[in-house]
Amino acid sequence: ESKVSTAAPVKIAVTGAAGQICYSLLFRIASGSLLGDTPIELRLLEITPALKALEGVVMELDDCAFGNLVNIEIGDDPRKVFDGVNLAMLVGAMPRKAGMERSDLLSANGAIFTAQGKALNDVAADDVKVLVTGNPANTNALIAQQNAPDIPAERFNALTRLDHNRAISQLAAKVGRPVGEITHMTIWGNHSATQYPDLFNAKVGGQNAAELVGDQEWLEHTFIPTVAKRGAAIIEARGLSSAASAANATVEHMRDWVLGTPEGDWVSMSVPSDGSYGVPEGLISSFPCTVKDGKYEIVQGLELNEFSRAKIDASVAELVDERNAVTELGLI
Ligand code: NAD
Ligand code: LMR
């Protein structure tokens, strides 16, 4: 008896497919970490000189004989690769090197997202969801969104799930409890060194995390910088930016966006602001979000003390600066 499903496959576009994040990401997607047993088709975009390497990655995907991977298409033309796609993971962009901030990549990477935004606008499926991982992720997502006027604005997200997971892991280690006991973590603001991982609303086994830690010195001078500068620490140690953990976070963000967040908890997602928590409307900033039936909502009514307010304002100010910079570059 055949085990092959007859349902139409979900078409998933992934860019930068021959790069290091995708060397982990594609295999996670294809093995079912993203959509479980749902049949999928992969649409892989690369620049022309990387297509040969991508053919090698496709050979390896073939060699895994993944049961739910129905088809793989590759190419260097976003208008062909994005045709009819339901999910788009925009990973392809240059990573920073030691000594750079992610925003230093704006002019190098910004143009990628104008072209891809336009192509998605013209050829993606009506239900397309777009998640940007390539840095600077928040502002690249804004560029893609602004170049895709026919796609509802809220379908453009950026990745701060890696920061969220880093924050959970650091907190769990500090309090000596399993990561599974940490809930209600929030990253606010930009995926950058100004991001604000919030322990005042986080919980450990239902207890307030900041109270349990009881150490403002650690929170301010160890926890926040460790999480915010973790990307740089990995570049320093590996000589390359994070890849497997970035792929994991990309899968988790998209999976939760499609299938929903766990009951009684939230996750951090960079989404277009509706003005919540004083974040200017339209900026793609990280918020606590819940998802139901494929639609996310920003969690409302959280209390922000003065410390949190100042941290969020600083990160949001950086997002405003980045938006101004790409406006000046003519990218939006
Ligand atoms: P990489 O250099 O290994 O791979 C990037 C790939 O993108 C390359 O193969 C390149 O050919 C391809 N590419 C470049 N321009 C393209 C285009 N126009 N269309 C399609 N593909 C294109 O880099 P990586 O380590 O895989 O990282 C990719 C991006 O993700 C970087 O910008 C990195 O900073 C970012 N990143 C973000 C997070 C996050 O949490 N948001 C985490 C880790 C890395
Ligand atoms: C990360 O957070 O690991 C990535 O954004 C890569 C980087 O430049 O830090």
Q: Enter the ipTM.
A: 0.99
Atom of ligand 1 nearest to the CA of 132: 41
176 with 102, same domain: the answer is no
Cα(106)–Cα(162) distance, rounded to whole angstroms?
Answer: 20
Digit-coded pLDDT (tens) for 197-235: 999 999 999 999 999 999 999 999 999 999 999 999 999
- 176 Cα distance to chain centroid: 28
Q: Which residues span the domain enclosing 273?
A: 161-323
Provide the annotated binding site: 16-22, 96, 102, 109, 116, 133-135, 166
Q: Is residue 329 part of a domain?
A: no
Domain's final residue, options 95, 125, 158: 158
Domain count, the chain: 2
Residue 108: what pLDDT? 87
Digit-coded pLDDT (tens) for 19-52: 999 999 999 999 999 999 999 999 999 999 999 9
Residue 43 burial class via C-beta count within 10 angstroms: exposed 0-12, middle 13-18, buried 19 and up: buried
Residue 93 Cα to ligand 2 middle (Å): 12
Alpha-carbon dihedral sign for residues 196, 201, 203, 208? positive
176 with 276, same domain: the answer is yes
Atom of ligand 1 nearest to the CA of 45: 20
φ and ψ at residue 94, rounded to 5 degrees: -75, 135
Residue 5: what pLDDT? 64
Domain's final residue, options 121, 139, 158: 158
Residue 283 Cα to ligand 1 middle (Å): 22
Residue 296: what pLDDT? 98
Least Cα distance to 82 among 114, 121, 49 occurs for: 121
83 with 131, same domain: the answer is yes
171 with 272, same domain: the answer is yes
To which H or E segment does residue 57 belong?
A: helix 51-64
Q: Look at residue 284 and give its three-state secondary structure.
A: strand
Q: Ligand 2 in contact with 129 (CB < 6 A)? A: no
Residue 277 burial class via C-beta count within 10 angstroms: exposed 0-12, middle 13-18, buried 19 and up: buried
310 with 292, same domain: the answer is yes
Least Cα distance to 267 among 151, 206, 187 occurs for: 187
Q: Is residue 309 part of a domain?
A: yes
Residue 62 Cα to ligand 1 middle (Å): 23
pTM of the model: 0.98
Cα(251)–Cα(87) distance, rounded to whole angstroms?
Answer: 11
CB 256 within 8 A of CB 267: yes
Domain's final residue, options 108, 125, 158: 158
Domain containing residue 28: CATH number: 3.40.50.720
Residue 232 Cα to ligand 2 middle (Å): 7
- Which region, left, alpha or beta, applies to residue 136 given φ > 0 means left and ψ of -120 to 50 means alpha? beta
Residue 271: what pLDDT? 99
Collect the ranges in the chain with pLDDT lower than 70.
1-6
169 with 124, same domain: the answer is no
**Which residues form the catalytic set?**
191
Provide the annotated binding site for substrate: 96, 102, 135, 166
| Ligand 1 proximal residues by C-beta, below 6 Å | 15-16, 18-21, 45-47, 50, 91-96, 112, 133-135, 137, 159, 162, 191, 241-243, 246
